[in-house]
Chain A
Amino acid sequence: KAGVTQTPRYLIKTRGQQVTLSCSPISGHRSVSWYQQTPGQGLQFLFEYFSETQRNKGNFPGRFSGRQFSNSRSEMNVSTLELGDSALYLCASSSRPNEKLFFGSGTQLSVL
């Protein structure tokens, strides 16, 4: 069974641009959550989706948004990029909320 797949692995953008990151969960998993990992702030929860509905949202500005499609694939979007948005963005999936979480290898975003 394929694991959680995140694309792209690396991304370089400039300030003010927007970016879309993609996450394909493990087959059969309907819950997808996103985390931001930085050296300064560590791992921080962004949001969680289950069956196309956002269940929970972390303390991030409205520039960060996400969605989930009917096939459970998820995207997150960051608009008007800032230097501080440079981070590793991790996606995780589970069959249902509160079940075991499986992580992808992340997308490393660099904002110049």
Chain B
Amino acid sequence: AQTVTQSQPEMSVQEAETVTLSCTYDTSESDYYLFWYKQPPSRQMILVIRQEAYKQQNATENRFSVNFQKAAKSFSLKISDSQLGDAAMYFCAYRSAWVGNQFYFGTGTSLTVIP
């Protein structure tokens, strides 16, 4: 079975600074998707960014970008110019390209943004 590991239970960053959240995963599949989801206190999971494994180019969404290292099975999230609204729980997730919407989630990283 696939596993997703987030080794940083908590992180903090000064407002306007940059922070990187780490994620590693284990899979024997060659075709899959990786995601970062944000869960604020409202509890709703919000998609931050998505990466297709077959794409070598790292995904970027405004202030959010990833460093995808397929051989190392590493998928980190960089948040630039951090804002107070970025404070939330961040989950890394894996989904096979062939098995519908069965996601495997990491245990999450709680991000605090310091004004």
Contacts and interface: CB of A to CB of B under 8 A. Distances in A.
- The secondary structure that dominates the B interface is loop
- The secondary structure that dominates the A interface is strand
A101 B47 contact: yes
Interface string A90-112: 10101001101111111010000
Interface stretch (A15-23, A48-56, A70-78): A48-56
Contact of A45 (B42, B46, B91, B102): B102
A56 B43 contact: no
Q: How large is the interface on A (under 10, 10 to 19, 20 to 34, 35 or more residues)?
A: 20 to 34
A97 B100 contact: yes
B114 interface: no
Contact of B101 (A3, A48, A105, A106): A48
Contacts of A42: 105-108
7 contacts: A33-B102, A43-B105, A56-B101, A97-B100, A100-B47, A103-B37, A103-B44
